[in-house]
């Protein structure tokens, strides 16, 4: 069935009402006198026309359960409960593509720029589903929260103005800089049990801690949903993680996902939803469950989710959403897995036996018990001195996290100690910042030597103006973040970054060394006495309710006809998009190998963040960072490849531009799990913009593969992974069989070597019929316009 944009325009109003279902018809949530002040603030952030309905969810679940004639996992209930056509949809885990109707879209400011530019290009007047923009990525950590936020508002004024006016024009809520990190804001305001939400950030799964299916996507996917088009997702497999026992002592929710990452590795969850269940779930707080789901992105999972329970109800009540909790109670059967449901794989973890973990360096799946990391570091030559400890981020900045860290800091202060390492604290939201300031946690953390940064991503995504070490200087940092790829935090490839819980970060920052196990080792007080840190403790939620802090939300106006969205043609930060060329109907002949990438190649390698974030709204300027972090197999160098037209060596973007100017299309050859990490679609837009046509690898990360398809690229995989070894850096490759390009039908690659010899290899793809049309049209956005 085709979906035209004329239909979208006619149905925008009705589509915007698909939000939450109840028992006897759909009720609206209205602010009443019964709500406290915090609830009133929260309710004001729900866009006009949104409603909450579990009735439709239940109806779809019922239809699908009868069709499949088997019990359903929780993941299946929520995903299949949002099917566009539950009666006719072909459903097969890991095989078919589902057409879904998400309830909500969320975008962070770095990715929202390109998403909104694409939405503007669609020609539609308003978004069809509730959507929000969150300003969290562009604030650089330098001095401290107040100063850094002020500077960010000045430096990024043009971008913030674009996002604010575009949001107002097209019906998108706008969370101003200083509001907090997108995932924390979603958890506090928009996530609820049973919702299907997509976000333009890979850590969107954070919302799974509140029983939501929240999935990270590229901006083009967000545009589809905002336009009212059914969104496609390959039917996920479901990995079950059964939790028994209970957390205690030094062990935290972070240790659960650090352990799982060690088991599944960075690609073990690809194509699957990780569903936690079992009696151990109830020992974890709602925000602790969010931590676990958040870092599920590091195992390649589509998303992660927990079943609805009393910990979620308590959190909903505390964040002004008691009505939603009451509704969830009424429909709890649809918010937990069916008895007897089957998982594709099951992992069992006894929380009572789980020990504190620390993962890294350079990859988030290299898991070590904290008790062993000192010896492992010595053996491998990793620096033992901890230069900086960093807590907070979207993964670990809850009230509970901050309270437990503060309890350790207080013990140190009582003994006359401060942190030996530098120490930073990143609140996840304005609400968290205001509450921990009121309750004294911030003062304790500052007194022990900490610097409280802005409510933003900061060092977690490379927005860190680090001064204590020089680039290239070997050093160790420990963080409570989620990702620790090479150069990720500070642009220094010699920084050994380790990921752990806020509690362990705090303890190691106090001790100043990786050779410290807080469960067994002693510290020396100022008076010379030896003492051990007592296990951390902290309240799950504030006894006095949350302090909402400053109101940083801009509601879209009911009438936006007079709102102007300007993009200056001379801007270096923003650039209106030009459509990509359509496929010319021919095979792709003699594509030059631009670079054969060696080893891990994440989206950070393909399109670096840090200082490049300022160009996220300007495709041509940000394309100057394309693949500058990838390792060239020819010379083991970074950003140094041979220009086959001139014989000279140059940077990857420079050579690509030269090829494009001379009419030579090109291909990138890569290794396993290519494109893991962030959801940034710039890693797909840049190769297309600079003349690339094919990315040929052993395997892809899910989001990046989809992003490439959306931009009219051909993401292909070797049918025989050893064929990777047949490709030489100076080869040309032709892709044949495109005249009959179809789902499930491999293509052929003719590899032409410099010595005149050839290899013919089989190339697989995962395109479905709609995605083949994206390729024919030149991009998904082009195809969207064809259907108007």
Pairing of strands 237-244, 714-718: unpaired
The span from the CA of 100 to the CA of 142, in Å, is 42
A 10 A CB-CB count for 292 gives 28
The span from the CA of 163 to the CA of 120, in Å, is 12
Query: Which DSSP category does 83 fall into?
Result: B
Residues 537/422, Cβ–Cβ less than 8 Å: no
Write out the E strands in 500-633: 523-524, 530-531, 553-554, 588-596, 631-632
The span from the CA of 771 to the CA of 385, in Å, is 50
- Cα torsion at 35, 41, 42, 47 (round to 10°)? 110
The span from the CA of 160 to the CA of 172, in Å, is 14
Residue in the block written with tokens 């062993």: 372
The span from the CA of 255 to the CA of 499, in Å, is 10
The span from the CA of 666 to the CA of 298, in Å, is 30
Q: Which of 651, 552, 635 shows the shortest CA–CA distance to 596?
A: 635
Residues 193/58, Cβ–Cβ less than 8 Å: no
Pairing of strands 367-369, 357-359: antiparallel
The span from the CA of 250 to the CA of 243, in Å, is 18
Token pair of 754 as six digits: 């410099």
Helix %, strand %, coil % for the chain, to 5? 35, 20, 45
A 10 A CB-CB count for 529 gives 11
Which residues are CB-neighbours of 457 under 8 A, at least 6 positions away? 108, 136, 137, 139, 181, 393, 394, 426, 463
First CA to last CA across the chain, in angstroms?
14
The span from the CA of 200 to the CA of 383, in Å, is 35
Helix (H, G, I), strand (E, B) or coil at 203: coil
Which residues are CB-neighbours of 771 under 8 A, at least 6 positions away? 232, 709
Token pair of 744 as six digits: 């499930």
Token pair of 553 as six digits: 């939300």
The span from the CA of 684 to the CA of 706, in Å, is 9
Q: Catalytic residue positions?
A: 136-137, 201, 483, 678, 680
Cα separation values, 455 from 53, 175, 548, 552, Å:
32, 12, 13, 12
Neighbour-count burial for 658-691, b at 16+ CB within 10 Å, e otherwise: bbeeeebbbbbbbbbbbbbbbbbbbbbbbbbbbb
The span from the CA of 551 to the CA of 514, in Å, is 41
> Chain centroid to CA 137: how far?
12
Helix (H, G, I), strand (E, B) or coil at 747: strand
Residues 282/540, Cβ–Cβ less than 8 Å: no
Helix (H, G, I), strand (E, B) or coil at 626: strand
């Amino acid at each position: 069935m085709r979906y035209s944009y004329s239909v979208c325009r006619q149905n925008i109003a009705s589509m915007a009402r698909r939000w939450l279902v109840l028992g006897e018809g759909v009720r609206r949530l209205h602010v009443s006198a019964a709500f406290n002040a915090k609830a009133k603030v929260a309710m004001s952030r729900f866009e006009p026309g949104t409603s909450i309905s579990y009735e439709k969810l239940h109806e779809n679940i019922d239809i699908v359960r009868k069709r499949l004639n088997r019990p359903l996992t929780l993941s299946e209930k929520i995903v299949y409960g949002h099917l566009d056509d539950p009666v006719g949809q072909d459903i097969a885990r890991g095989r078919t593509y589902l057409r879904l109707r998400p309830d909500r879209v969320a975008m962070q400011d770095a990715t929202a720029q390109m998403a909104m530019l694409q939405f503007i290009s669609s020609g539609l007047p308003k978004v069809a589903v509730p959507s929000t923009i969150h300003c969290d990525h562009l604030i650089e950590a330098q001095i401290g929260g107040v100063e850094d936020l002020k500077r960010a508002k000045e430096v990024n004024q043009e971008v913030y103005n674009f996002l604010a006016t575009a949001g107002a024009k097209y019906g998108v809520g706008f969370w101003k800089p200083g509001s907090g990190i997108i995932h924390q804001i979603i958890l506090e305001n928009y996530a609820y049990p049973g919702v299907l939400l997509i976000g333009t950030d890979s850590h969107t799964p954070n919302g799974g801690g509140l029983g939501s299916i929240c999935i990270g996507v590229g901006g083009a996917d967000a545009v589809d949903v905002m336009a009212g088009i059914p969104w496609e997702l390959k039917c996920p497999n479901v990995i079950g993680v059964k939790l028994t026992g209970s957390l205690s002592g030094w062990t935290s929710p972070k240790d659960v996902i650090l352990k799982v990452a060690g088991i599944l590795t960075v690609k073990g969850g690809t194509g699957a939803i990780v569903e936690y269940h079992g009696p151990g779930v109830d020992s974890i707080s709602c925000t602790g469950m969010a931590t676990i789901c958040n870092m599920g992105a590091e195992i390649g999972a589509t998303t992660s989710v927990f079943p609805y329970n009393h910990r979620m109800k308590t959190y909903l009540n505390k964040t002004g959403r008691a009505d939603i909790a009451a509704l969830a109670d009424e429909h709890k059967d649809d918010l937990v897995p069916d008895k007897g449901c089957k998982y594709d794989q099951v992992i069992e973890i006894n929380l009572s036996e789980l020990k504190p973990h620390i993962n890294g360096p350079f990859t988030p799946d290299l898991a070590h018990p904290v008790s062993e990391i000192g010896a492992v570091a010595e053996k491998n030559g990793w620096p033992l001195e901890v230069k900086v400890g960093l807590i907070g981020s979207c993964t670990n900045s809850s009230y509970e996290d901050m309270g437990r860290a503060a309890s350790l800091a207080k013990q140190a202060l009582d003994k006359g100690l401060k942190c030996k390492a530098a120490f930073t604290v990143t609140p996840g939201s304005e609400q968290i910042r205001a509450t921990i300031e009121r309750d004294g946690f911030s003062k304790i953390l500052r007194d022990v030597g900490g610097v409280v940064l802005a409510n933003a991503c900061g060092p977690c995504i490379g927005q860190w103006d680090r001064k204590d070490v020089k680039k290239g200087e070997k050093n160790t940092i420990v963080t409570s973040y989620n990702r620790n790829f090479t150069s990720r935090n500070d642009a220094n490839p010699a920084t050994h970054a380790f990921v752990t819980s806020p509690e362990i970060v705090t303890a190691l920052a106090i001790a100043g060394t990786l050779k410290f196990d807080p469960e067994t080792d002693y510290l020396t007080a100022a008076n010379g006495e030896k003492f051990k840190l007592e296990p951390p403790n902290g309240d799950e939620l504030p006894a006095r309710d949350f302090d909402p802090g400053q109101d940083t939300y801009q509601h879209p106006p009911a009438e936006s006809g007079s709102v102007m969205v300007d993009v200056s043609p001379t801007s270096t930060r923003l650039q209106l998009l030009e459509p990509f060329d359509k496929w010319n109907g021919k095979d792709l002949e003699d594509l030059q190998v631009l670079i054969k990438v060696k080893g891990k190649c994440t989206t950070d390698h393909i399109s670096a963040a840090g200082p490049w974030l300022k160009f996220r709204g300007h495709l041509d300027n940000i394309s100057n960072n394309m693949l500058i972090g990838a390792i060239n197999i020819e010379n083991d160098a970074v950003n140094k490849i041979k220009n086959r037209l001139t014989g000279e060596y140059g940077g990857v973007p420079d050579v690509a531009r030269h090829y494009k100017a001379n009419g030579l299309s090109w291909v990138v050859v890569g290794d396993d799990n290519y494109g893991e990490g962030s959801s940034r679609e710039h890693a797909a837009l840049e190769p297309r913009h600079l003349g690339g046509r094919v990315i040929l690898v052993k395997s892809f990360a899910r989001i990046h593969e989809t992003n490439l398809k959306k931009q009219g690229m051909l993401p292909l995989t070797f049918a025989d992974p050893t064929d990777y070894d047949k490709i030489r850096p100076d080869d040309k490759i032709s892709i044949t069989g495109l005249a009959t390009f179809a789902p499930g039908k491999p293509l052929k690659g003719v590899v032409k070597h410099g010595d005149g010899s050839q290899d013919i290899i089989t190339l697989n793809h995962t395109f479905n019929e709609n995605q083949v049309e994206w390729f024919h049209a030149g991009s998904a956005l082009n195809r969207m316009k064809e259907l108007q």
